[in-house]
Amino acid sequence: MKRLTAFFRVFFVISGLVSFGIGVSYASEFKPTGHPVSIGQKSAGGKNAVVVRGDFDSIESVLEKMNRAHSIIDGRELENYDLSEVSQLYINCGSDTPHSGVLNKVKKFVEEGGSLYISDWAHNYLEPWGFTFEDSGEEGFTTGYIKENGLKKYLKGKDKISIHYDLSSWSVIKSSGGHKCKPLITGDVMTFGGPIQDAKLAILFKAGNGTILYTTFHTEEGMTKDAKDVLEFFADTTAINSIVNEEFVENNIPPSHLVASNSSSLSSAKNLGIPVKIVPSGVAKFFLRIYDFSESAKNAFSESALMNSYSCTVDMYTPNGTLYRTLELQNGKGAVEVPANDNTPGEWSFKVQNFSGYSEKSNIMVISTGVNAEEDPGLVIIGPAKPSTPERSPGVPPSADSSGSGCNAGFSLFILPFLALPLFLGRK
């Protein structure tokens, strides 16, 4: 019995190694086509995140838990605060009531490409877009129904969560001013005027070149675990949208050309790759960008450091698994144009080949654009995704033939433990 146990230990170790080896050997059969693409001349560090204090919300506590770099100011400081170096603005519920000058300043910030998070009573900042609210929500628990697939994936498949409103008079959205909004979470709620079915509890919409995320609930006593995860998603979504907005403004891309975006850590992108869909729309473009919102990386992405010691090489695969091109990112950024005759619809994959200078926890984002995007740009959600193991590695076609040399070698190693079985059984 001990001999059999020893045999199977060796069997499973070798089998595990071989399973890894088959994928690697098959992918290595592909050779890069064309020359590396090097586009982009700006720092990948991005701009700053600023939080406006509030009496009833503390989104900064969420950012701190996520180790996200940010500055904190009072509402009265916003009037004279320079937003030209800000990409993310978080305004807590219970912040100072803004006057028209501040409202117009924030409106300009968003429409020029800024990403704005607003919670509950800070809804005044949505007035310039024609939104109306009623502070009539009653205290208590309600079930929130997840309406956005990216958020469902982030919550590991959950389609509903428990939301606790610990204070009454929370803000109910009455009208969106004619804007097309993407509902992130809806629910049946009780207000002072009676019940409201399918009320929008959190929304996201496009305004000019920027984005706005508004939530009726926020950090509070007795907040559920799911609600905490959702607020982390909201914080991440606000940050990630700031990068997408900035990329579009810099490259003069109309917001209507956004197709999809995906991101992951560099280490995950090296092991698993990043799938990004594209639609058949003539010429298509992909934009790549490395970013890091962590406090430890706050000053890491200087121009000189990026030019002298930071590098990243990415392999780009077509939906059928063929290596299409190898990209050399310059200053943390890159882009590639796919001509109409190469534009294969489906999920293209980007796998980091190697990188230096950056932290393994730094992130890489891939954005796909095309003339005929499937959805209204205001309804496309660009949010974080918790990494999951893909069905196949990038570079390995779905119907990979087992007759390839890599698979033959793998099969030979696979049966090796069985050939050694008599030796195990015959040992004294």
Instruction: Please report the DSSP string for 312-332 in residue order.
Output: EEEEEE-TTS-EEEEEEEBTT
162 versus 246: which is more confidently predicted?
162
Mean pLDDT value across residues 174-195: 91
Spatial CB neighbours of 239, under 8 Å, sequence gap ≥ 6: 49, 68, 88, 115, 293
- Rounded Cα gap, residues 258 and 238, in angstroms: 17
In a domain, 60, yes or no: yes
In a domain, 194, yes or no: yes
List the domain range (segments joined by +) for residue 277. 26-43+252-379
Q: Give 297's pLDDT tier (boundaries 50, 70, 90).
A: low
* Per-residue burial over 128-164, b = 16 or more CB atoms within 10 Å of its CB, e = otherwise: bbebebbebbbeeebebebbbebbebbbeeeeebebe
Q: With pLDDT > 70 as the criterion, what percentage of the chain qualifies?
A: 72
In a domain, 399, yes or no: no
Task: Kindly state whether residues 180 and 107 are assigned to the same domain.
Answer: yes
State the pLDDT at residue 416. 39
Beta pairing, strands 170-175 & 210-215: unpaired
| Residue 257 predicted with pLDDT over 90 | no
Q: Give 277's pLDDT tier (boundaries 50, 70, 90).
A: confident
Task: Kindly state whether residues 167 and 272 are assigned to the same domain.
Answer: no
In a domain, 352, yes or no: yes
Task: Kindly state whether residues 190 and 281 are assigned to the same domain.
Answer: no
Domain boundary among 191, 224, 246: 246
Domain boundary among 195, 211, 246: 246
Task: Kindly state whether residues 230 and 367 are assigned to the same domain.
Answer: no
State the pLDDT at residue 358. 87
Mean pLDDT value across residues 288-316: 68
Task: Kindly state whether residues 13 and 121 are assigned to the same domain.
Answer: no
Task: Kindly state whether residues 209 and 328 are assigned to the same domain.
Answer: no
Task: Kindly state whether residues 96 and 154 are assigned to the same domain.
Answer: yes
Q: Give 199's pLDDT tier (boundaries 50, 70, 90).
A: very high
Q: Give 100's pLDDT tier (boundaries 50, 70, 90).
A: very high
Task: Kindly state whether residues 277 and 301 are assigned to the same domain.
Answer: yes
Average pLDDT, the chain: 76
Tally the domains of the chain.
3
Task: Kindly state whether residues 17 and 39 are assigned to the same domain.
Answer: no
In a domain, 398, yes or no: no
In a domain, 78, yes or no: yes
Per-residue pLDDT tens for 130-177?
Answer: 999 999 999 999 999 999 888 888 888 999 999 999 889 999 999 988
In a domain, 397, yes or no: no
Q: How many angstroms separate the Cα of 301 from the Cα of each of 68, 360, 411, 416? A: 15, 14, 46, 49
Mean pLDDT value across residues 365-393: 55
377 versus 247: which is more confidently predicted?
247
CATH of the domain at 193: 3.40.50.880
Task: Kindly state whether residues 325 and 342 are assigned to the same domain.
Answer: yes
What angle do the packed helices 405-419 and 2-27 form, to 10 degrees? 170
- Rounded Cα gap, residues 392 and 298, in angstroms: 35
Task: Kindly state whether residues 94 and 225 are assigned to the same domain.
Answer: yes
**CA torsion, ordered 134, 135, 136, 141, to nearest 10 deg:** 120
Tokens read off for 169: 């008079």
**CA torsion, ordered 206, 208, 210, 216, to nearest 10 deg:** -40
In a domain, 76, yes or no: yes
**Chain length of the chain:** 428
Q: How many angstroms separate the Cα of 93 from the Cα of each of 14, 208, 279? A: 57, 24, 39
CATH of the domain at 297: 2.60.120
Spatial CB neighbours of 18, under 8 Å, sequence gap ≥ 6: 410, 413, 414
Task: Kindly state whether residues 60 and 169 are assigned to the same domain.
Answer: yes
Per-residue pLDDT tens for 322-363?
Answer: 999 999 998 888 999 999 888 888 899 999 999 988 888 888
